[in-house]
Amino acid sequence: MSKEKWDEFSIVGKNMPRVDGLDKALGVAKYVSDISVPGMLVGKILRSPFPHARIMNIDTSRALNKAGVKAVITAADTARRKFCMNRGWESNMILQDSKVRFIGDQVAAVAAIDEDTAMEALSLIKAEYEPLPAVFDPEEAMLHGAPEIHEAKNNIAIHVQRMFGDVEKGFEQSHLIRQGFYYSPPVTHCCMEPRACFATYSSDTLSIWAHTQTPHGLREELSEAIQIPQSKISVFQAPIGGAFGAKIGMDPMDAITALLAMKTRLPVKIANKRDEEFATSRFRYPMKIWLRSGVKKDGRIIARDVKVITDNGAYNHEGHLVMGNAGSKAAQLYAVPNVRYEGYLVFTNNVFGGAFRGFGNPQITFAMETQLDEIADCLNMDPADIRRVNANTPNSTTASGCKITSCGLTECIEITARESNWINKRKRPKSKKNARVGIGMACMIHGGSGVKFYYGKNCNFSSAIIKMNNDGSVDLLVGASELGQGSDTTMAMLAAERLGINLSDIKVISGDTDTTPFDPGAWGSRQTFTAGNAVLSAANKVRRQLLDVASDLMEANIEDLDIKNGNISVKGSPSISIRVSDAAAESYRNRGKPIQAQGVFEDVWSVQSDPKTGIGNVSSAYSFGTQVAEVEVDIETGFVKVLDFWCAHDVGRAINPLGAETQIEGGVLSMGIGYALMEKMIFQSGEVKNQSFCDYKIPTISDACGLKNYFVETLDEHGPLGAKGVGEPAMIPSAAAIANAIYDAVGVWVRELPITPDRLLSAIKENSIKRNGR
């Protein structure tokens, strides 16, 4: 960890525009869906129209015979292996061979000379199904006699029961107990670029440009799916139009594209249309949450009892981890000493869920943070005060075994309360003719350093390689992925700072499994922490190599040398200096030692939680934040206008403040507001009814309110220059803050998201009847 002061940094802590921004502004960045090469085939996937059916027969002969069709594949062309990126959870197949389990499940695919031919070929495939009874609600799916989707008793993929401390005792000791039912609906990522994949196969090597957040992980999964060694697979990340968790792990589209390329020996591209994207995207796991909290007289939460029923959808993917994460947050937020957590992950014949920014945390935080305001109301406490009482503290451990190092939650509460003029706004009259104004607060905790969820028991490492060219410029190869979130820029800044060179002298190479070192992927808000540490490690080694040569050339002690702006000089005598390029060239040309090094970050602090007890320090560092929302509610229409947001996040250190701020703004204004007020996938008998941006609403620019952002820099002892993750924290508390503000405005709780105008109006009227008898 470094406790370096700000003015000691020349690059870190300054606002830096993205290194990849210009290409995107010019329109020359080539996204996967832009890729087009001569002879490229267009692939299309045939999808099941039934939510649950046996596949009786698939006759591809007519499709194969159509002119312009180069390949048609079914399960028979695959290894017929079940897969899941999480080992032990395999249930899906690249192409289903015996059953389909959701509307949109993939059963066949074609590759043809153009899109029209491919579409016609799909229509020529004769797929015969025997429809089976289907079930769409997880509670119904658990009942005796419900249709069996997999060989799982009562369709329960997993039933988890955990207890930290003694929850009954905690409730006995509580001054007040509050309980409620909350519902978080299926919502989807709405990446602006629909999923696409491009693959070529030659010289027994598969090259694939996929929508992926996990290039090395994808390579591993593809290797197993198509049964060729990993070394024969190259995964490349073109710029992609959005990820947010949707692109973790292999998607059947990736393997299908690969198989078609291998079969035809021609380049193949598959791209979703937008309606296909809505119909088949892996939603945020919908959760029914029963939450009961017990507090002491001063508002301190001492017991939480949580029961969650999670709609797994048709296949396993991330559900057990998401549900587990939601449960563990119940213990982590405010370090509640006694927590019981029970979760059912249940198969249904809906499309299956996946990772989505927050990974179960937005769902549980909505429940926890709105219930906390209910409690505050009962105790006649200011919601900011009850959070002050409960806030996590630095260097503490939760009942679930999470070792919190840095923690700035109290500062986050203070800053947002102060800057939003909290006290006065809470006291002010709420009414403005038909409108009521309100202000609400919510806090969050999240892992800020990645977790050991994926690919094994201890797989949260990262690596980076620095090659310093003999002109002093640097090639920085990182395993971390640039998804548009600014990873490349952050890594370059860290390297430039540590090496003492200019940012413009660094080229970042990422998203290429052929050339970049290993990294398990961009998820869990981990990259700044893990990859940043790896980059610093490599940079320290390169710095040492440079200074070794320089000290010799300059006849000075290494300890007396400093590097800044590409110059190596003697501390205190800046005129005695040589260029970094001089040292690099000397080492390369005259000493036979090219300047290069690999840095590896090994996560020695976090563990997987114990599978039986759930106890364990699951992150090396934890990120915290508080958001305050101000809303105006039209009490006759139920329409909620978000007026303002104040966000304070403990990010350890903001390596690129501009980058981190735009993460917060995007998380709140492009997603949080949507999750709170307007987003929901509408299912009817397994069919997604709102398959367009007209009917699935995400916030527009007109919905964006002002947002003031504040960073609390607690300089985490484990983070690179103290930094922790911020990507997911950006949207975790937003919905709860808005719901709490609505309560302040109109005195009603809506415990089901989204809080649409009609839902809120019903709640307002019901409340009015209760209060006034009319």
- Whichever of 604 and 694 has its CB closer to another protein, that residue is 694
Q: In angstroms, give the least distance from the CB of 661 to another protein.
A: 7
Interface with another protein, residue 665, by CB under 8 A: yes
**What phi and psi values does residue 429 have, to the nearest 5 degrees?**
-65, 140
Interface with another protein, residue 767, by CB under 8 A: no
- Whichever of 380 and 684 has its CB closer to another protein, that residue is 684
DSSP alpha helix (H) spans, 555-642: 580-585
- Site residues for another protein, 233-292, by CB under 8 A, read 239-244, 273-274
- Whichever of 579 and 641 has its CB closer to another protein, that residue is 641
- Are the C-beta atoms of 375 and 174 separated by less than 8 Å? no
Return the structure tokens found at 493: 């800044």
Among 193, 414, 488, 713, binds another protein (CB under 8 A): 193
Q: In angstroms, give the least distance from the CB of 449 to another protein.
A: 22
- Whichever of 469 and 690 has its CB closer to another protein, that residue is 690
- Site residues for another protein, 496-555, by CB under 8 A, read none
Q: Which stretch binds another protein (CB under 8 A): 99-107, 555-563, 618-626, 670-678?
A: 670-678
Q: In angstroms, give the least distance from the CB of 133 to another protein.
A: 26
Q: By C-alpha distance, which of 669, 487, 542 is closest to 16?
A: 487
- Whichever of 193 and 414 has its CB closer to another protein, that residue is 193
DSSP secondary-structure letter at 701? G
- Whichever of 374 and 634 has its CB closer to another protein, that residue is 634
Q: What is the 3-state secondary structure (H, E, C) of 295-340?
A: ECCCCCEEEEEEEEEEEEECCCCCHHHHHHHHHHHHHHCCCCCCEE
Return the structure tokens found at 42: 């267009």
Among 59, 571, 689, 766, binds another protein (CB under 8 A): 689
> What would the x/- binding string for another protein be over residues 729 to 758, using CB under 8 A?
---------------------------xxx
- Whichever of 384 and 726 has its CB closer to another protein, that residue is 726
- Are the C-beta atoms of 346 and 309 separated by less than 8 Å? yes
Q: In angstroms, give the least distance from the CB of 656 to another protein.
A: 9
- Site residues for another protein, 200-239, by CB under 8 A, read 239
- Site residues for another protein, 693-722, by CB under 8 A, read 693-695, 697-704, 706-707
Interface with another protein, residue 690, by CB under 8 A: yes
Among 250, 508, 668, 739, binds another protein (CB under 8 A): 668
Any residues with CB less than 8 A from the CB of 565 and at least 6 apart, and which?
10, 500, 501, 502
User: In this structure, are strands 106-112 and 69-73 parallel, antiparallel, or unpaired?
Assistant: antiparallel
Rounded-to-integer distance, Cα 691 and Cα 311, Å: 20
- Site residues for another protein, 466-485, by CB under 8 A, read 483-485
Residue owning tokens 């200096």: 577
Beta bridge partners of 160: 343
Among 111, 547, 669, 746, binds another protein (CB under 8 A): 669
- Whichever of 563 and 648 has its CB closer to another protein, that residue is 648
User: In this structure, are strands 268-271 and 41-47 parallel, antiparallel, or unpaired?
Assistant: parallel
Any residues with CB less than 8 A from the CB of 104 and at least 6 apart, and which?
47, 48, 276, 279, 280, 351
How many helices (H) and strands (E) in the chain? 20, 33
Q: Which stretch binds another protein (CB under 8 A): 15-23, 45-53, 507-515, 535-543?
A: 15-23
- Are the C-beta atoms of 498 and 539 separated by less than 8 Å? yes
- Site residues for another protein, 20-59, by CB under 8 A, read 20-31, 33-34, 36
- Are the C-beta atoms of 605 and 617 separated by less than 8 Å? yes
Buried/exposed 411-447: b ≥16 CB within 10 Å, e otherwise: bbbbbbbeebebeebbeeebeeeebbbbbbbbbbbbb
Q: In angstroms, give the least distance from the CB of 39 to another protein.
A: 15
Q: Which stretch binds another protein (CB under 8 A): 149-157, 345-353, 518-526, 659-667?
A: 659-667
